[in-house]
Structure 1
């Protein structure tokens, strides 16, 4: 009876280990939203992108501004024989003050402003695209840490179970109902689990450092446990997601701005066939000389360039046209990549979702029952130790694959969000 009581106690311990272990009280969970908020606010690469955008915003008023007016001061028609005399000796001598202003041909300033504004818009959407990719990286690091944490829990549970199995094997061996090989086998499997634990701990440290890098904080900053989550379900079709991507993806809008810039640059190049003007006004201060009363005089002038250099202007047109064509084709490439990526990501997400459902509803419950049956049968010597061990290893692999599939689903969802430019589950 005493031996039976010992076996019963050990079996109860193994059953408890096989069905899950009680989680300790958690004082803090690492929520995703604050991490994203910090990354968007503090990441230096994103700050650099914002500064670059602001730099190009300041080019807009510069592009439309007129050139500074030119002030002219001169002494006109001085006598060589009396170079220090500035008036009163000859009626043609005068002191002149003048001002001139260069004025581009009508429409050029507006087109220059449009080119600068479109270029600034390109960098603005570059900031939004960088923000989108940063959020994707934060989410992927976050869910990878979740997968590693859950794998560590499974490993810890298995280490405890293998320790209990070692006690059972030792007890059976001591009473002549087992073999010593079972004890050694349990020790070996426990050592393998300890090795897996070390590897997972190293992976978590690396992932934590990567997440802290994205958040621009010390790499050894602790990341708390990631809470459990439910997999969001997508309801939109591939066509609807592709249409949403064309409307919302910042990179698409950035390339559209480049197309607009090229078109404005082409119209500006066409304007180069028309002259720019220079308007001037001169006032001449004269003094009485000889019989001349010395009345003041003024001059109005209009000069303009002659646009004879056709080859230069033709090259400007060709350059602007090529830039527009390049932006259009890059936009077509991006749209094609978006279509391909959406279809591929949806297929992968569907696979991971089906795997999660299969593990939760079928494989893991069945594997748990198989383990419990193997432990009970081992107690009464109906199966050998390896059968119990194989059942436990199978359950361990299935539980680990469940969490990996959950994390992969969320990783692909983050990629899909970056491709579309918005959360697909919220559309």
Structure 2
């Protein structure tokens, strides 16, 4: 009855594994089209959650970590016992003699501490593999937020193109009315036709870019390239950044790459201790029965044997190897810390620049472009301006609106890069920091 819970657990485990394998097979994931069927608009956070749930690279890395976990028990287990059997065929059926046979069982037992150290090595390597999962999650989150910014930009660009196409059609009607009244030449209407043709061509380019961005998102989601996606929600406005010094400290505390190197460092330390244990012999216990002995008292035997660690040179070399390996990992960790701090500083400055650029377009350049457009339009309708000035003002407005949306997308892309460099969402880290400070103040 004691086996029943274990058997039940393994049956459930096997059933769950089969179910997950069937449910998330690549072929079925590619055909699935119900992921966002009830969603009209999607946020960057929702898209990141979907990618982290479905991305095959993350599933592969998670499987590698599970494999490394399974090595822990293997490393701490004793070798299989050895059973040997020997017989003397000539004694079979011989009168007055016992049938000659020898049975022996032996078990190799490593020097005390070796199995524990082997288990420690495997455990630390599994810890490092787990940090690879977090590192990939950061990369996928940053890539998803970046492509979501492109998804938002392309829809805004299509919207701007549509609005300006309608605006140019209105300008063309005004030009035709003024031409019919003999106030302007036919050239104004022809210029409007040229600009409309260019906008129609730009609409085709934008549609191609929209499909490309959709394909990139579907690749992250492990879906077919042409699966439909919801429209993007509005991107949030820029927020004040924490001090860059604080961000560098967060990065050094939370980046999974540093945690993985720390785990590798612990593994190398355990390997070094294990190499030192090789100076001591392993033990083999034996027990057997040998009927070839005539006296019964001699037939049963027990014994012990050890290997003789005479090759001290190779053992010293092994210890020296892992000492040097430990130094290499330590230097790798130091170099990684320097690179992370530098990357945080670079990404921080880029985000600050993007905030300034976005503010410049939103508060100054776009209002000026709109005022210029309205002035040119009013002047042309009243006969005080020419059509070329109106078209130039309209093109300048289009360009300014597009550059504003590009600046908005660039800000969110650079913010995603900064969050990857820091090791997670800045908003989440600020909440964590506030909670820690609150706990300290209550002590």
TM superposition score category, shorter chain reference = 0.7 to 0.9
Whole-angstrom distance in 1 between the partners of 2:91 and 2:145: 82
CA contact (8 A) 2:92 2:100 kept: no
Structure 2 length-normalised TM: 0.83
**Cα-Cα RMSD:** 2.2
Whole-angstrom distance in 2 between the partners of 1:59 and 1:86: 52
Say which of 372, 396, 399 aligns to 1:397. Answer: 399
In the alignment, which residue of structure 2 is the partner of 1:170? 176
**Against the structure 1 CA distance between its residues 109 and 86, is the aligned structure 2 distance closer, same or farther, given a 3 Å change threshold?**
farther
CA contact (8 A) 2:283 2:306 kept: yes
In the alignment, which residue of structure 2 is the partner of 1:84? 92
In the alignment, which residue of structure 1 is the partner of 2:66? 54
In the alignment, which residue of structure 1 is the partner of 2:387? 385
In the alignment, which residue of structure 2 is the partner of 1:222? 228
Structure 2: gaps spanning 5 or more residues: 1-38, 430-443
Identify, as 1 or 2, the structure richer in helix: 2
SS at match of 1:280: strand
Say which of 229, 233, 243 aligns to 2:239. Answer: 233
CA contact (8 A) 1:40 1:134 kept: yes
Structure 1: gaps spanning 5 or more residues: 1-26
In the alignment, which residue of structure 2 is the partner of 1:352? 354
Mean CA deviation greater in 238-247 or 403-412: 238-247
Within the alignment, does 1:426 sit opposite 2:434 as a pair? no
Say which of 31, 49, 52 aligns to 1:40. Answer: 52
Whole-angstrom distance in 1 between the partners of 2:278 and 2:94: 43
| 1:262 Cα deviation from its structure 2 partner | 1.1
| 1:131 Cα deviation from its structure 2 partner | 1.6
SS at match of 2:214: helix
Within the alignment, does 1:254 sit opposite 2:260 as a pair? yes
In the alignment, which residue of structure 1 is the partner of 2:322? 320
Say which of 169, 186, 189 aligns to 2:195. Answer: 189
| Alpha-carbon displacement from aligned partner over 1:13-40 (angstroms, at most 9, x marks no partner) | xxxxxxxxxxxxxx82123333222222
- Structure with higher Rg: it is 1
Whole-angstrom distance in 1 between the partners of 2:425 and 2:240: 10
Structure 1 length-normalised TM: 0.86
Whole-angstrom distance in 1 between the partners of 2:274 and 2:400: 65
Within the alignment, does 1:98 sit opposite 2:104 as a pair? yes
Whole-angstrom distance in 2 between the partners of 1:188 and 1:218: 38
In the alignment, which residue of structure 2 is the partner of 1:21? none
SS at match of 1:383: coil
CA contact (8 A) 1:115 1:264 kept: yes
In the alignment, which residue of structure 1 is the partner of 2:139? 133
| Alpha-carbon displacement from aligned partner over 1:57-113 (angstroms, at most 9, x marks no partner) | 1110000100111223345xx6x9x643679549xx965433211111111111100
| 1:205 Cα deviation from its structure 2 partner | 0.5
Whole-angstrom distance in 2 between the partners of 1:179 and 1:248: 68
In the alignment, which residue of structure 2 is the partner of 1:369? 371
Whole-angstrom distance in 2 between the partners of 1:235 and 1:416: 11
CA contact (8 A) 1:245 1:420 kept: yes
| Alpha-carbon displacement from aligned partner over 1:117-164 (angstroms, at most 9, x marks no partner) | 111111111111112211111111111110111011111111111111
Within the alignment, does 1:274 sit opposite 2:276 as a pair? no
Equivalent pairs, count: 391
SS at match of 1:303: strand
Whole-angstrom distance in 2 between the partners of 1:286 and 1:303: 22
Whole-angstrom distance in 2 between the partners of 1:243 and 1:404: 31
**Against the structure 1 CA distance between its residues 220 and 87, is the aligned structure 2 distance closer, same or farther, given a 3 Å change threshold?**
farther
Whole-angstrom distance in 2 between the partners of 1:172 and 1:406: 39
SS at match of 1:302: strand
CA contact (8 A) 1:163 1:190 kept: yes
Whole-angstrom distance in 2 between the partners of 1:34 and 1:425: 16
SS at match of 2:191: helix
| Alpha-carbon displacement from aligned partner over 1:230-256 (angstroms, at most 9, x marks no partner) | 224243222211111122111211111
4+ residue runs over 6 A deviation: none
CA contact (8 A) 2:81 2:108 kept: yes
| 1:317 Cα deviation from its structure 2 partner | 2.1
In the alignment, which residue of structure 1 is the partner of 2:41? 29
In the alignment, which residue of structure 1 is the partner of 2:12? none
SS at match of 1:378: helix
Whole-angstrom distance in 2 between the partners of 1:219 and 1:42: 15
Whole-angstrom distance in 1 between the partners of 2:95 and 2:404: 101
Mean CA deviation greater in 60-69 or 219-228: 219-228
In the alignment, which residue of structure 1 is the partner of 2:310? 308
Mean CA deviation greater in 203-212 or 342-351: 342-351
| 1:50 Cα deviation from its structure 2 partner | 1.0
